[in-house]
Structures are given as structure tokens and as C-alpha cells.
Copies of this chain bind each other. A is one copy, B any other.
Amino acid sequence: MARKSTDRSGRPTLVDVAKEAGVSAITVSRTIRSPEIVSAAARQKVEAAIRKLGYTPDPAASALASHSTSTIGLLVPSLTNNVFSDVLRGVYDGVEGTRYFVQIGNYRYSALEEEGLIRNFLSQRPAGLVISSMDQTPAARALLESAPCPVVQIMEIADRAVDMSVGFDQLAAVRAGARHLFDCGYRRPGFLSARMDPRAQRRLAAFRDFNEAAGVLDDRRIMTTPQPSSVGMGRLLMEQLLSRAPETDAVMCNNDDLAVGALMEAKRRNIPVPSMLGICSFNDIEMVRQMVPSLTAVASPRREIGVRAIAMLLAEIAEPGSVADRHVDLGYQMIARESTSRR
């Protein structure tokens, strides 16, 4: 025999609400999704019934019937990285108060894992996708191009974004840092970078280009490692740099952890900063400005990128094609502090 729908789980359904309110199921559905097209009288009856029964819609049934979910997928290469925890915060601030949920995928700097995650996310019919990379595999790119939902790529400015993008000019930002060191009179600058993913590689290239043009490039002063970034790694790289190229008078660090590590290593060796060693960081998390001496940094708009990405996604979900500025450059800021201020 057909069981009543509440029998099994004790959970009321649309039909239960409809009966309670004396309307049809579809009217209940409409009251929830677009209350403005339901008469005030019906709406009130339905709302009362919902409250009385403690009804909550079943997202699975909704997803199945409508072929879309309220999930926004977010793909990041790392959860450890401070950069992405700021982006994450922006993203969560962005969805706050909307009906959307964020699901995070961590592809751990692997393009192959990224492709798998994209496939996986798409099979869930997400409302939208935020992806923090421009370096997908061809297959992943193809998946994104034919994705049935809006996609925002974040972090870099887009010469080759699939759909929309928000970021800043990473190369110009690195050049700004290099130029700052040069302008402060440092003539033997080094470069520290961990985790040499494509983005880090590009930034290193930008650093080399600028310094080569300025006539102050020496590849002996470029210290990199494929290992993850950390403060300890910053100290290690700094140590290696100083033993290989003791003449080094400044370092550009590819992120904040490394810069703090470099500062600590300088402190341990009693190398005065900024007089004997200038330090410029990249990204500018809060800690950086609280160091003593405070660290000069190229600041990236991490949280804003997250917020804006969600805003673009939501606008595009609400009305496809409605987003006019599909490629947004949020800029960077060169913030001079004590670690490069020698007069």
C-alpha cells in the first residue's frame, strides 16, 4: 500500500504542507521560490503551514527536478596557503545570506587532480564554479568551456579565461616590487620562492625581466624550491642565498611566509634590516605589517577577489549574460614600510 509521505522519515513534504494549507503542492513550491507570484492570502496560509509543520525543502529532490543545485564549487590549489584562506573568507562573505553553499575542492597544485575535481563538481550540477588557476589541462579547459554554469577564474588577469575572471596583474605587481627595491638603492637583489607552480614561475620570470633590464640581475641570487612555502623555508632559502651570494643586499620574496622567514634569518645573523638588507614581501597578510621592522610588501586584493568572484557568479546565475565587466582587474598596492626604508 502507498504509505503516507510522512510515515518513513517523519519529515513533512511539500504535499503535507499543501494539505495543511488547503492549496496544491505547486503553490507551496512557488511560495518558497517566488513568493511574489502567489496571492497574499495563499502565501499566508502556506507560510503558516510551513511553520506549523516545520517544513524544510529537500534539496536533493529540488536538484533532481530542476536540474540545478545551490552549490558553488571553489577549486583551490592549497588550503595551507594564507593567500587562499583570505580568498576563502571573501568567498564565504560573498555567499553569506544567499541561498548558496560553497564546496571546496583542493587540487594540491596538481593539474590532473584539478581536472578530476572539475569533472566531479560538474557532475553535481553546480550553480557556479570559482577556479583559482589559468593553467588547466586541455581536457579540463574543454570541460569548463562547455560547463552548464557560469565559471569565474580568479587571481590573475585573464588573457585566456574561459568565462569570467577576477584578479590582478601578478607580473606588474612583481615588477613594482622589484622597481621599489631598485628605487630604494638596492643593487644586488635576490629572489626567494617556494612551491614553483606555474604562477610562481611567471612571477620569477617577471622579476628576472625587470632586473635584467635594470642591469642588476644575477641568477645566483635566485633561490627556489619545489617544496611548500613556510616561514621555516624562508629562513632556509635566506640562509642558502647568503652563503651562495653574500653580497646580496635585498630580497624579493614570493610570498609572506618566506618574507617573515627571511626577516627572522636576518635577525638571527644580526644583519640589520633595512640598512644592510632590504626585504619586500608579496601578498601582505596582516602579520607582515606587524613585524619589527614592518615589512614592505606588494599587497594583493585577496579577500576582494573572493567577494567579487561570488558577486559576478550570483549576477550571472540570476540572469545569464547580465555581467558586463567579465574580466575584472582589482589591482595591487605597493606598500613601502620599514624593511626597505633606508635614508
Alpha-carbon separation in the docked complex, A243 to B80 (Å): 37
A26 within 8 A of B: no
A106 within 8 A of B: yes
Q: Do B267 and A290 have beta carbons less than 8 Å apart?
A: no
The 7 closest A-B pairs by CB, nearest first: A60-B63, A56-B123, A231-B290, A60-B64, A267-B292, A231-B287, A264-B292
Of the listed stretches A85-93, A128-136, A152-160, A327-335, name the one at the interface; the rest are far from the partner chain: A85-93
Of the listed stretches A97-105, A174-182, A246-254, name the one at the interface; the rest are far from the partner chain: A97-105
Which residues of the other chain, B, contact A101 by a CB distance below 8 angstroms?
Answer: 103
A235 within 8 A of B: yes
Which residues of the other chain, B, contact A69 by a CB distance below 8 angstroms?
Answer: 60
In the complex this chain forms, how many copies of it are found? 2
Q: Which of B80, B231, B234 contacts A85 (CB 8 A)?
A: B80
Which residues of the other chain, B, contact A212 by a CB distance below 8 angstroms?
Answer: none
- A248 CB to nearest B CB, Å: 19
Alpha-carbon separation in the docked complex, A69 to B92 (Å): 22
- A35 CB to nearest B CB, Å: 19
- A215 CB to nearest B CB, Å: 34
Which residues of the other chain, B, contact A125 by a CB distance below 8 angstroms?
Answer: 58, 60
Alpha-carbon separation in the docked complex, A106 to B96 (Å): 9
Alpha-carbon separation in the docked complex, A231 to B287 (Å): 6
> Which A residues form the contact surface with B (CB < 8 A)?
9, 56-61, 63-64, 67, 69, 79-80, 85, 88-89, 92, 101-104, 106, 119, 123-125, 148, 230-232, 234-235, 257, 260-261, 264, 267-268, 286-287, 289-292
Alpha-carbon separation in the docked complex, A294 to B267 (Å): 12
Which residues of the other chain, B, contact A58 by a CB distance below 8 angstroms?
Answer: 64, 123, 125
- A154 CB to nearest B CB, Å: 16
Q: List 12 A-B contacts (CB under 8 A).
A: A9-B67, A56-B123, A59-B123, A60-B61, A60-B63, A61-B64, A63-B63, A102-B103, A231-B287, A260-B287, A260-B290, A264-B292
List 5 other contacts, CB 8 Å, given A60-B60, A257-B287, A287-B287: A56-B123, A60-B124, A60-B125, A230-B286, A234-B290
Q: A67-B9, A101-B103, A103-B102 are in contact. Are A79 and B92 (CB under 8 A)?
A: yes
Q: A60-B125, A123-B56, A230-B286 are in contact. Are A89 and B85 (CB under 8 A)?
A: no
Q: Do B287 and A123 have beta carbons less than 8 Å apart?
A: no
**Which residue on chain B has the smallest CB distance to residue A267?**
B292
Alpha-carbon separation in the docked complex, A125 to B61 (Å): 11
Q: Do A264 and B290 have beta carbons less than 8 Å apart?
A: yes
Alpha-carbon separation in the docked complex, A60 to B101 (Å): 15
